[in-house]
Amino acid sequence: YPESVGIILWATSNLRNHGQCVAEFLYLMGLRPVWQPGSQRVVDLEVIPLEELQRPRVDVTGRISGLFRDSMPGSVIWLDDAAQRIASLDEPTELNFVRKHVLEEAGELEKSGLDKQAAWRQASYRVFGDPPGAHGAGTGAVLEAKNWETIDDIAAVYTRWGAHAYGKGSEGTYMPEVFKKRMAQIDITVQNVDHRESSMLSGDDYNNYRGGMIAAVRSYKGSMPRNYVSDSSDRSKVQLRSLTEELKRWFRGEAMNPKYIAGMKKHGYKGAGDLATYVAVSYQWDATSDIMENWMYEKYAAKYALDKDMQKWMQEVNPWALHRITEVLLEAEQRGMWQAKPETKQALQELFLSMEGELEERGE
């Protein structure tokens, strides 16, 4: 069993699906909610006995969004209470990973000078998010600005945005060292998806939060965690896929699907811009999570940038989209994330230079 799991908690999805991520957080730790008869409000948490659970209690760290913090404060309290309850149980540490980690870290903090109560409280924070009043994760902005060199740079930005502890006694206190400790313990990251209206490639929010967490684990732990996506868009058939499987599913099903591309073309300027977003977001996922393969970049180059019909259409409706696609692909090659074929690289460089001149003329 994994000792530690990192989970992304968004407000919109949990409001829509009645708290699937909250339920998963609780169940991994070995808790279930207690509902008030009639109103069905959650009024308490009940510890599931180990004899019934039949597995160890898994340590869970939740990275909440700013909207989750603002619209579901009650859930934040329940999640924090869950971690404290489980850590306080008198159980063997090999069957209670929450207690195991809290005991270890609290001991270290006491040695550094904290009193016992403060050390225990600091070691038991498991809910982290944005600074009070802020929204976002920082990852997308730093990647879009090209203002990074290594995975450690991305992790540092993710920490600055997300290392604010929430729960009893802390309404967003910045605790970077505590957050780094949590990220360094994570064996598995997971994000639940409950609809098909957007995907991990259609916008950068997924990579902003989830990819940022993976980058932080890679940086602070020194190894890649296992990464999964839980798809409950069809609640009668919930499916679990690896992040790589999920990427290839959307890459083949939408990004490279001729019918999908034809549909995007009907939207002119906006359609071209959205196709450019697919390329940019794929690159960003690769930067945080190392999941793109050479053939995928080659497909983007051939289908989106070097195809003559696509070039003609984009130059007519949105040449800036074609410029962005070419620029992102060349950046991926320059950073060593893609070993491009020599002829592909040369064709992209020639296209980029020609687009630079064309856009400059249009600007004038």
Please report the pLDDT score of residue 356 as a whole number. Answer: 81
Is the pLDDT at 360 greater than 90? The verdict is no
- How far apart, in whole angstroms, are the C-alpha atoms of residue 154 and residue 156? 5
Number of H helices, E strands in the chain: 19, 10
| Structure tokens that stand for 291 in this block | 């999941």
Give the three-class secondary structure for 269: helix
Residue 90 lies in a domain: yes
Query: Strands (DSSP E) along the chain, which ranges?
Result: 4-9, 31-35, 42-47, 59-64, 127-129, 164-167, 170-174, 188-193, 226-231, 239-242
Q: Given a cut of 70, is residue 364 above it in pLDDT?
A: no
Q: Which of 243, 278, 309 is the last residue of a domain?
A: 243
pLDDT band of 169, cuts 50, 70, 90: confident
Give domain status of residue 99, yes or no. yes
Please give the Cα distance from 297 to 301 (Å, whole number).
Answer: 6
pTM for this structure? 0.95
Mean pLDDT, to the nearest integer, of 118-135? Answer: 96
Mean pLDDT for the chain?
Answer: 95
Work out the number of other CB atoms within 10 angstroms of the CB of residue 100.
Answer: 20
Same domain, 109 and 224: yes
What is the rounded average pLDDT of the residues 77-87?
97
Out of 183, 216, 243, a domain closes at 243
Q: Is residue 151 part of a domain?
A: yes
Q: For residue 75, which phi and psi values (nearest 5 degrees)?
A: -65, -35
Burial 57-68 (b: 16+ CB within 10 A, else e): bbbbbbbbbbbb
Number of domains in the chain: 2
Answer yes or no: do 224 and 272 share one domain: no
Q: What's the pLDDT score for residue 222?
A: 97
Structural domain boundaries, residue 205: 4-243
DSSP H helices, 30-96, are: 50-53, 66-71, 73-88
- Residue 317 shares a structural domain with residue 238: no
Taking 90 as the threshold, does the pLDDT of residue 359 lie above it? Answer: no
81 in the same domain as 212: yes
210 and 321 housed in the same domain: no
In the predicted structure, residue 22 carries a pLDDT above the cut 90: yes
Lowest mean pLDDT among 38-47, 76-85, 191-200, 349-358: 349-358
Same domain, 196 and 344: no
Of the residues 187, 209, 243, which one is the last residue of a structural domain?
243
Cβ 4 vs Cβ 185: under 8 Å: yes
Q: Mind listing the pLDDT tens digit for each residue in 227-273?
A: 999 999 998 999 999 999 999 999 999 999 999 999 999 999 999 99
Residue 209 has pLDDT above 90, yes or no: yes
Which residues, at least 6 apart from 16, have a Cβ–Cβ distance to it below 8 Å? 194, 195
Q: Indicate whether 117 and 18 sit together in one domain.
A: yes
**68 plus 173 within the same structural domain:** yes
Tell me whether residue 275 is in a domain: yes
250 part of a folded domain = no
Q: Are residues 62 and 177 in the same domain?
A: yes
Do residues 188 and 288 share a domain?
no
> Does 120 share its domain with 212?
yes
Pair 141, 182 in one domain: yes
Task: Note whether residue 316 is domain-resident.
Answer: yes
The answer to whether residue 308 sits within a structural domain is: yes
CA separation (Å) from 281 to 83, 143, 185, 199, 284? 34, 10, 27, 11, 5
Distance CA 19, CA 194 (A): 11
| Residue with the larger pLDDT of the pair 356 and 296 | 296
Instruction: Determine, yes or no, domain membership for 25.
Output: yes
Q: What is the mean pLDDT of residues 30-51?
A: 95
pLDDT of residue 4: 98
pLDDT digits (tens, 9 = 90+) for 93-103: 999 999 999 99
79 contacts 22 by C-beta, under 8 angstroms? yes
